[in-house]
């Protein structure tokens, strides 16, 4: 016959079992963010503050209702109007997200702490902003974890690791991995076909925020530079611009005589008479603005324009993993024989159908009218 345990010992054992059970149910979530910092949450985040409002669309790649996760956001890099409207139609609660910005790129620690979020998501460029770093220290001192991601400064290197970070921190690892496989399969196809060092790489000029006057902003490193080189081109802007973005003269551009001229634009360029395309833009508007752009004095004289090796692309590909479709478009433009079977329009359609909770119609690229 078993010897009865003293009541106090039985109570202690019962308590230990309950504690062990609670520990198993409440397993910490730990990731290493893009800065190499270890970030631990007691459970997947359900109330987030976004350091970039436009990263709501990134969350949308891995969550059916990303709006439900976001308590606050900084509007320094806001959603474009057509995308915001599409999200508002499906998720009216988007208007309840609290702005937490302070100045051009700053954030308000007080506003964020008042929201009691589980997590604040900042970006790689925030580490170099003094005001943001002061606020970040205050936020962390209040016990609120911060994770850093990057979809902008070094998109080729950091976008998919950043998506996986967000996936784990928000309990969407499976969805994040599904998109990662979608992305990496397409990227590896491009890299493998361009692996031969004997393949000629055309010289490319990227004219960012393109307008017929005030020429010419271009890219030196990071962002679009990465897309150009991955797609099998040479970024001639890197020869003169040592930073992420800088300016060259129209005379320089004409003298450089690029093999390809690529302009970037969006609805934000309409007031400057520049290239208008992207979300919410119809084909006729995009084509007309591009024709005006390449017909302007100086641009019309470029060999790349005269010979039909010019294109306009949506500038806002620069801060989303959807940029894989742009890399496909550039690779197909620079090396049509190698990528005849690649369909960047189909890639965009699949991103919308398989991953995004909303579909925003628009024109993402345009070439000279024939």
pLDDT band at 102 (very low <50, low <70, confident <90, very high): low
The alpha carbons of the chain give a radius of gyration, in whole angstroms, of: 24
Q: What is the pLDDT of residue 17?
A: 40
User: Domain limits at 266?
Assistant: 199-366
Q: Is 23 a domain residue?
A: no
| Domain presence at residue 8 | no
Q: Is residue 231 part of a domain?
A: yes
The DSSP letter of residue 352 is I
Please write the tens of the pLDDT for every residue from 351-367: 999 999 999 999 999 99
Return the pLDDT at 25. 45
Q: Is 1 exposed, middle or buried (0-12, 13-18, 19+ CB in 10 A)?
A: exposed
Pick from 23-27, 161-165, 319-323 the range whose average pLDDT is largest. 161-165
Domain final residue pick, 148, 166, 187:
187
Given 149, 164, 187, the domain boundary residue is 187
Same domain, residue pair 150 and 208: no
Instruction: Give how many domains the chain has, as a whole number.
Output: 2
Q: What is the pLDDT of residue 224?
A: 93
How far apart, in whole angstroms, are the C-alpha atoms of residue 99 and residue 53?
Answer: 9
Whether the pTM exceeds 0.85: the reply is yes
pLDDT higher than threshold 60 for residue 218: yes
Q: Is the pLDDT of residue 114 over 50?
A: yes
Decide if 3 is inside a domain: no
Looking at the structure, tell me whether residues 347 and 209 fall in a common domain: yes
- Tell me the mean pLDDT in the region 258-280: 95
Q: Which of 193-207, 229-243, 322-336 has the lowest mean pLDDT?
A: 229-243
Distance from the Cα of residue 178 to its chain's centroid: 17
- Which residue, of 155, 187, 219, is where some domain finishes? 187
Is 98 domain-assigned? yes
Contacts of 208 (CB under 8 A, 6+ apart): 217, 218, 219, 224, 245, 263, 264, 315
Q: Is residue 135 assigned to a domain? A: yes
In this structure, what CATH number is given to the domain that contains residue 67? 3.40.50.1980
Q: Are residues 213 and 111 in the same domain?
A: no
Instruction: Identify whether 21 is part of a domain.
Output: no
In contact, 179 and 61? CB cutoff 8 Å: yes
Closest by CA position to 121, among listed 153, 152, 151, 148? 148
Cα–Cα distance between 298 and 108 in angstroms, integer? Answer: 45
pLDDT at 21 over 70: no
In a domain, 193, yes or no: no
Cβ neighbours, 10 Å, residue 7: 8
């Amino acid at each position: 016959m078993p010897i009865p345990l003293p009541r106090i010992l039985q109570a202690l054992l019962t308590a230990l079992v309950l504690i062990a059970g609670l520990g198993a149910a409440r397993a910490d979530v730990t990731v290493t963010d893009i800065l190499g910092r270890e970030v631990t949450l007691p459970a997947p985040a359900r109330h987030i503050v976004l350091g970039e409002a436009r990263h709501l669309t990134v969350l949308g790649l891995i969550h059916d209702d990303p709006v439900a996760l976001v308590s606050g956001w900084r509007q320094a890099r806001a959603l474009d109007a057509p995308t915001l409207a599409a999200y508002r139609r499906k998720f009216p609660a988007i208007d309840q997200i609290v702005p937490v910005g302070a100045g051009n790129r700053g954030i308000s620690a007080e506003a964020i702490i008042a929201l009691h979020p589980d997590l604040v998501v900042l970006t790689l460029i925030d580490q170099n902003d003094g005001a943001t770093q002061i606020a970040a220290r205050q936020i962390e001192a209040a016990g609120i974890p911060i994770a850093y991601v990057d979809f902008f400064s070094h998109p080729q290197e950091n976008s998919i690791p950043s998506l996986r970070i967000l996936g784990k921190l928000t309990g969407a690892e499976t969805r994040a991995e599904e998109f990662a496989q979608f992305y990496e399969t397409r990227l590896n196809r491009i890299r493998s076909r361009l692996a031969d060092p004997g393949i000629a790489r055309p010289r490319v000029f990227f004219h960012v925020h393109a307008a017929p006057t005030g020429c010419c902003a271009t890219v030196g490193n990071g962002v679009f530079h990465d897309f150009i080189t991955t797609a099998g081109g040479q970024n001639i802007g890197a020869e003169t611009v040592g930073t992420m973005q800088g300016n060259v003269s129209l005379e320089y551009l004409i003298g450089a005589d690029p093999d390809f001229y690529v302009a970037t634009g969006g609805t934000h360029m309409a007031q400057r008479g520049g290239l208008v395309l992207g979300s919410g833009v119809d084909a006729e508007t995009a084509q007309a603005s591009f024709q005006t752009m390449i017909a302007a004095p100086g641009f019309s004289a470029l060999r790349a324009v005269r010979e039909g090796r010019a294109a306009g692309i949506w500038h806002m590909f620069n801060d989303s993993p959807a940029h894989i479709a742009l890399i496909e478009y550039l690779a197909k433009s620079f090396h049509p024989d190698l990528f005849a079977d690649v369909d960047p329009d189909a890639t965009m359609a699949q991103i919308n159908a398989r991953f995004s909770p909303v579909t925003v119609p628009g024109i993402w690229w345009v070439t000279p009218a024939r």
